[in-house]
Structure 1
């Protein structure tokens, strides 16, 4: 047993009246001890459930991210002498690791659209994961012909630099974090680690972080956490099942902070986007089966007009606008539709497959 970790556990697990939050440095140490298995399994499980009940503070989330930066994978910056970092600002699409189970995701198509437009995109995640055990991004990409799980970190960096797409795969690239995954099933709840994953950027250069969320308190915690971490450009999305995917069945609630070019003081802005105003309203396509999902995603990429195509255009258009490829949302939507109809996205997928 670690006596040092026991003190951390006593602080977060002592209840409403006597429990205390950890400071940023203390949380970094505690997270590091869990990642390196210096705490016992009993201590780790107890800490996770106690921290879940208490709820993490932004300062604690910042400390957890500090530990991930210290011990986890970090891809080098794409910046060069002739291309400054803002021109290579990587958009990090962060979605819940336990996947999707109710609605069909279009995140891979969004990533392909952005990469085809010259916006580098980095994703991260793992395999099927508790507590939801939903369809993860890795399996969707495999269904499209791209197996991110086989690449080393160096190969992932090469893919990002060459094709504009990369994926940090937890079991291969960050096994210490992957070793904590079984605890999620054992405690029966998402621990605060699931929250930190939504604001983690395993990249050394400038990023545009996109964090999905479900409940408004999560967004508030993310904003303060990212402020503590001096992040100058990010987007929060009340997305489908907490993902980065904008809904079509309701108003899209989005928060933006900072610009891609970084040419003006960052300010927080709240957006309420109505898909019906752009002819893209409707229902969110249900996830009937993984086989049907892959079939539909392939149809969208091939330029066929199905219901999921509208979701892809809505999301692709928004992110092209947010990433400053297009000056207006309307033009972003038009460009996303053109990319699909004229096989630009299909060509980008072939490039990634054959790289």
Structure 2
């Protein structure tokens, strides 16, 4: 990112807002450095409330580009990023919240951690009523909720897994996401937080719901140099494979980028619950109770991650996680 002290004179907040808002023929996308400049102003509180609202909504209407997202993410992570004492395997953002199916992906995370794979989960924006958010599930499943990156490193060395709220990672970004209630619309912050990787995990994940965002997340990851990255059109927008339908996934590693479809392992579509509940997660993990959907979702999600981490086929990874599942107690 360009040093703010050496930015051209035209790098002012009114100039950036004008570039975005001059209408169909006059507006344009921001460059990487311009987007980073605006995000820096947001984080440093040198932007006025009017400028912030204008920027967020103009970006929302225009729709952010991968170059803009990469610039904003870079501005966010530069003051946050730390080098952990031990490598972290997986950076797992969990921001969508489950509406119907329980959070089976957190059983996948717990299973992976139990077998030596370190996982840093982060989330926030719990503003939609009736959804099951990661922070609440983690507490029930015994996954530690930490309040600092130093505490996260200690917990990852102890148990291979922890959750940290965005409000503790970046209060400024958390406040922007919470503005949805005031503005009525999501903002670019809802997209860019999925690319924050403060502990420099080797594998980065992004879950999303709307198909158009798959390409955007994929291109942003490449621009950020996330050389082992998975983008998943997951259940409810979380990083969770749906075992009863085709699941689209974009894969990027240091050799190539590609898109795949994961075939369903269940013969028919599952009946969707009216509301995501906690009890089915505990019943499945503790007592193997359930209709098969939850276990298939957890194991397929875990297998996809093992495949990316170890460079093995999805079928081979599936056999591994099935063995882990049988031996989890």
The corresponding residue for 2:13 is 5
Do 1:302 and 1:343's aligned partners in 2 also have CA atoms closer than 8 Å? no
Taking the aligned partners of 1:176 and 1:221, their CA distance within structure 2 comes to 23
- Give the gaps of 5 or more residues in structure 1: 80-87, 259-264, 345-355
The partner residue of 2:23 within 15, 28, 31 is: 15
The corresponding residue for 1:200 is 196
- The CA deviation string for residues 171-215 of structure 1, in whole angstroms up to 9 with x for no partner, is 2232122222332111211111111122221223x5211112233
Q: How does 1:50-199 map to 2 (within 5 A)?
A: 50-71=58-79, 73-79=80-86, 88=87, 90-95=89-94, 97-126=95-124, 128-129=126-127, 134-148=131-145, 150-199=146-195
Taking the aligned partners of 2:298 and 2:55, their CA distance within structure 1 comes to 40
Secondary structure of 1:302's counterpart equals: helix
Do 1:104 and 1:285's aligned partners in 2 also have CA atoms closer than 8 Å? no
The corresponding residue for 1:212 is 207
Do 2:102 and 2:278's aligned partners in 1 also have CA atoms closer than 8 Å? no
- The CA deviation string for residues 211-250 of structure 1, in whole angstroms up to 9 with x for no partner, is 1223333222223222222221111111112211011221
Taking the aligned partners of 1:157 and 1:248, their CA distance within structure 2 comes to 33
Q: How does 1:254-273 map to 2 (within 5 A)?
A: 254-258=249-253, 266-273=255-262
Do 2:67 and 2:220's aligned partners in 1 also have CA atoms closer than 8 Å? yes
Taking the aligned partners of 2:325 and 2:204, their CA distance within structure 1 comes to 25
Do 1:275 and 1:314's aligned partners in 2 also have CA atoms closer than 8 Å? no
Number of residue-to-residue matches in the alignment: 317
Do 1:118 and 1:164's aligned partners in 2 also have CA atoms closer than 8 Å? yes
The corresponding residue for 1:340 is 325
Do 2:31 and 2:67's aligned partners in 1 also have CA atoms closer than 8 Å? yes
Indicate how the Cα distance of structure 1 residues 309 and 275 shifts in structure 2: closer, same or farther if over 3 A, else same: same
Do 1:248 and 1:281's aligned partners in 2 also have CA atoms closer than 8 Å? no
CA-CA distance at 1:127 after TM superposition: 5.2
Secondary structure of 1:74's counterpart equals: coil
Do 1:304 and 1:341's aligned partners in 2 also have CA atoms closer than 8 Å? no
Secondary structure of 2:47's counterpart equals: coil
Taking the aligned partners of 1:182 and 1:92, their CA distance within structure 2 comes to 22
With 298-307 and 134-143 compared, the bigger mean Cα shift is at 298-307
Do 2:105 and 2:240's aligned partners in 1 also have CA atoms closer than 8 Å? yes
Taking the aligned partners of 1:230 and 1:140, their CA distance within structure 2 comes to 31
The corresponding residue for 2:245 is 250
Secondary structure of 1:323's counterpart equals: helix
Taking the aligned partners of 1:58 and 1:160, their CA distance within structure 2 comes to 31
Secondary structure of 2:102's counterpart equals: coil
TM-score (norm 2): 0.87
Do 1:303 and 1:343's aligned partners in 2 also have CA atoms closer than 8 Å? no
Indicate how the Cα distance of structure 1 residues 305 and 102 shifts in structure 2: closer, same or farther if over 3 A, else same: closer
Do 1:256 and 1:270's aligned partners in 2 also have CA atoms closer than 8 Å? yes
Do 1:171 and 1:178's aligned partners in 2 also have CA atoms closer than 8 Å? yes
Do 1:35 and 1:180's aligned partners in 2 also have CA atoms closer than 8 Å? no
Taking the aligned partners of 1:113 and 1:78, their CA distance within structure 2 comes to 23
